[in-house]
Amino acid sequence: MDEESLKISLIRNNGDDEFAGDSPPIEGWRGLVQASWKESKKLWYLAGPAIFTSLCQYSINAITQTFTGHIGDIELAAFSITNSVIAGLSYGVMLGMGSALETLCGQAFGAKQLKMLGVYMQRSSVILLVTACLMSSIYVWSEQILKLIGEEDEIAELAGKLSLWVLPQLFAYAMVFPLAKFLQAQSKVLVMAVIAGGALIVHVIFSWLLIFKWGCGLWGAALMVDISWWMIVLAQMAYILSGTCKEAWGGFTWAAFRNLGAFLRLSLASGVMLCLECWYLNLLILLAGYLSNPKIAVDAISICMNLMGWELMISLGFNTAISVRVSNELGAGHPRAAKFAVYTVLATMLMIGAILMVVIFITRNEFAVAFTNSEEVMKAVSKLAPLLAFTMLLNSIQPVFGGVAVGAGWQALVAYINLASYYIFGVPLGCFLGYYFDFGVKGIWAGMICGTTLQTIILCFVTFKTKWNRESSQAIEKIKAWAERT
């Protein structure tokens, strides 16, 4: 490994250590507007295709849930539990552990150490596939697990059977996230968008045929979920192996099996951080199952969660974009550029969140029609709309801080913040309001919103107090250390 290629000279400027080649200071309003426009174009170049990709991938499950809602209330509840609790658990683990690759690949790409990307990607795939094998027992025993935690027997039994049908999706998750992070670090987001869009089109057509025309019902829905996710995996793999990533992909190597312990520790820290976030809102559906009328409560909260999921895909697009921007700039030794990218994406997402909040308020009595034929469920959803609208605003900026954390490599710190804000504060408060004061779903949700608000405030404080020069210096040292281990 050429050590000189990893060194970036420092210069003294007005008493601060700045990295050579960093963006110049912004002067005046005109300079601010020009810099914001330039940075916005970079962010949207990454975020646009990433949002489309996330929306398409999310829609595979979300549209299937919409279809199952027209089969029957019990089918909707079973699919919601399977999708949000069982598959949601897997999604959180795989996405979280895969974000370790996002940090390393992004910073290595910024430092021009392209040959390390392929090694990192294979190493992450090995770890995630082993993790998937271990997690498969959750799918096998899902019925017993759901009954043990108090879910209604009828829902738990159907969800348990459905979980076995969607088991292949777990192994697709284990492959798709390493492949995606590898491509994202190189800004190859357009091809990912094309692949995801194609998979969604196939999924919608054949899901409709299997569920409604060919009478396969819930089992046809599960089968198409599996097929669609594996289509994405195979297409991304074919693209990488076709020679389009020559510098970053050097072929399969035994180096992927070296230093797995160190990589696993970073992956676990990343997994805990993301899992605590992914599971948090999914707990809403689980806790709603303990209320007096669980079918209506679960269906209503599932519809709201479905809409939140659509918005979260937009946020995750910018999460990806800011993670790539921050990791690339820190790896390249540009702390000022990384800092300005954070400010730009926060302003953008606040505007998007405000627009979505207004849309939810305006359509609060109508949007549930797309998901259910039940008048009772529609009324329950309408009552939850104000909380949904506020959550839309909050969720527009909260994932951005997660992207900054991944780009900078703060996963362990954020894991502690999430644990305290969500599970020590938010969940107990939600249960207290929902059960003790008998506010039902509204109380549970309101308490959990308070937890998200606390987490966002803390991450905001951490981000704006960050010494970006120091973060860039540490990123370069980390790249050197990881390269030497390989």
- pTM of structure: 0.73
Listed by start position, the domains of the chain span: 26-485
Q: How far apart are CA 63 and CA 70, in angstroms?
A: 11
Q: Which DSSP helix (H) or strand (E) runs through 307?
A: helix 294-332
C-alpha separations of 169 from 40, 162, 173, 447, 458 in Å? 35, 12, 6, 32, 35
**Contact predicate 175/128, CB 8 Å:** yes
CA-wise closest residue to 220 among 231, 211, 230: 211
Beta bridge partners of 309: none
For residue 478, the model assigns a pLDDT of: 66
DSSP-based three-state secondary structure for 130: helix
Q: What is the structure's pLDDT at 483? A: 60
Spell out the long-range contacts of 111-116 with Cβ–Cβ below 8 A and sequence spacing 24 or more.
111/5, 111/6, 111/331, 111/332, 111/476, 111/479, 112/5, 113/5, 113/6, 113/479, 113/483, 114/186, 114/247, 114/248, 115/247, 115/248, 115/250, 116/482, 116/483, 116/486
CB 332 within 8 A of CB 21: yes
366: number of Cβ within 10 Å = 11
pLDDT tens digits along 28-60: 787 788 888 888 888 888 888 988 988 898 888
Q: pLDDT digit string (tens) for 170-214? A: 999 999 999 998 998 888 889 999 999 999 999 999 988 988 888
Cα-atom radius of gyration of the chain, to the nearest Å?
A: 22
Q: For the chain, what is the largest distance between any 2 Cα atoms, rounded to a whole number of angstroms?
A: 72
pLDDT, position 57: 87
CA angle in degrees (0–180, nearest 5) for 269-274-279:
125
- Low-confidence stretches of the chain (pLDDT beneath 50): 1-21
Residue 484's pLDDT is 58
Residue type, 161: K
User: What does the pLDDT read at residue 74?
Assistant: 80
pLDDT of 413:
85
pLDDT for res 199: 95
Give the chain's length: 486
Residue 437: count other Cβ atoms within 10 Å of its Cβ.
Answer: 9
